[in-house]
Structures are given as structure tokens and as C-alpha cells.
Amino acid sequence: MSTGKTLESERESISELCKRMLDQGLTTGTGGNISAENGEGVMAISPTGMAYPDITPADVPVLDGDGEVVAGDREPSSEHRMHRMLHEGRGDVGGVVHTHSPYASAFASAGEPIPASHYLIAFAGKQVPVAGYATYGTAELGELAAETIGEAYDACLLRNHGVITVGETVDAAYETALMVEYCARNHYIASSIGDPIVLDDDELEHLQERFADYGQSE
């Protein structure tokens, strides 16, 4: 099988990001999952129920467009349906990250979107909206997440659950997950001081344009 079908570099990235997700406090235990897609319907996704420090690239399963494992010996995450729907829903999505980060998950449990009280929210959109509740691992949860993210957002909260982010690459989706948690924590702390000031739509649109070219060019 060609390396394009086995997604070797994507599996390596997922293995590394799983460890970072745990180390940086974006999840606990084996919660959360990460995927990357090659643009041809072939998707690598973190394995189910495996301790993140133990995951190697070879442990990351690869699924074809029919959901069949075509590389790797492990079972895929139970959330593979949600990841597939997000990859298929938008042509610019190459990576998806699902976390249980504590502050953002608290907003999800409260059913409250994260507002634009910090400019870094623009990594996700003009806010981080909340998708309706569905049992984990179901197609219904995937449908709710894909509908809520739509074309306007790169992240949403999963009510009573956690966070899901998308990006052109899996690294970009992971960066957005970090920003979502930072903005959730910032808003929570600011709310204990007073009424946080929310940025207006014009400024957020300007920020989104600037973030489109954020970082180093190769």
C-alpha cells in the first residue's frame, strides 16, 4: 500500500499531538481524539481506549471512505463518525481535534458559548458556539457538531461533553483547541472581576483576516 494511503506523516503527527494534548491539560485519561485526512477520503484517527503516552504512529489506525481500517492494528476512536462528518463537511478541513479541556468543557456543561472577550477567539470565529447534546460516539453527535461549525466557525462546544475544532491541518486544529481553552479560562476569570468587554464584529472580522496569514511562511 502506498504511503499516501497509509498516511505515515499524519499518523506520526497524531501520535505526538495525543501526548501534547494530555501534557498541556486539554484532556484527562484517554478522553478526546485527533484525526487527519489526506484529501482523498482516507483518514487517520487516534485509537480508542489507549493511554496517550503509549501511542506510537503504528498504533494510529487509518480508515478508508467506507470506515474500514486499512492500516494499523488498533480499533479507531469511537468518535470516528463525528470526525468523518467534519472532514467531509468542508473542503478546507484536513485535521480535527476533540478535547475535554476543563474551562471550555465547563462552558459546554452550562450550555453557554464562549464570547469574544479576548481577541484570540478569532482563531475559532466570532465566538465558540454550543452544539446540542447527543450521546458520544453517535452519528447524531457528528451531525450536531458539523451543523454548528458550518462554514462560519473552526470550533464548537459539545454540550455536556467537550470541544471540537477543525483546521486545514491537524496542527492548525490543535492550535485552535489551545486558543479555545485559553479564551474560556480568560472569560471565566474576567467574569469574576466584572463584566468582560466583548469585541465587536468589525474587529473580529479584521482579526480573522490577519490570522489567515498568521505564522511563518515556508
79 as an active site residue: the answer is: yes
Q: Which of these, 62, 88, 79, lies nearest to 164 by C-alpha position?
A: 79
**C-alpha–C-alpha distance, residues 24 and 151, integer Å:** 28
User: 112 and 183 in contact (C-beta within 8 Å)?
Assistant: no
> Which of 136, 28, 41, 137 shows the shortest CA–CA distance to 80?
137
Active-site residue (options: 10, 79, 175, 181): 79
What are 90's three cell numbers?
Answer: 468542508
Put the strands of the sheet holding 69-71 in their side by side order.
Answer: 69-71, 62-63, 43-45, 33-37, 95-99, 162-167, 155-158, 130-131
Q: Which residues are the active-site residues?
A: 79
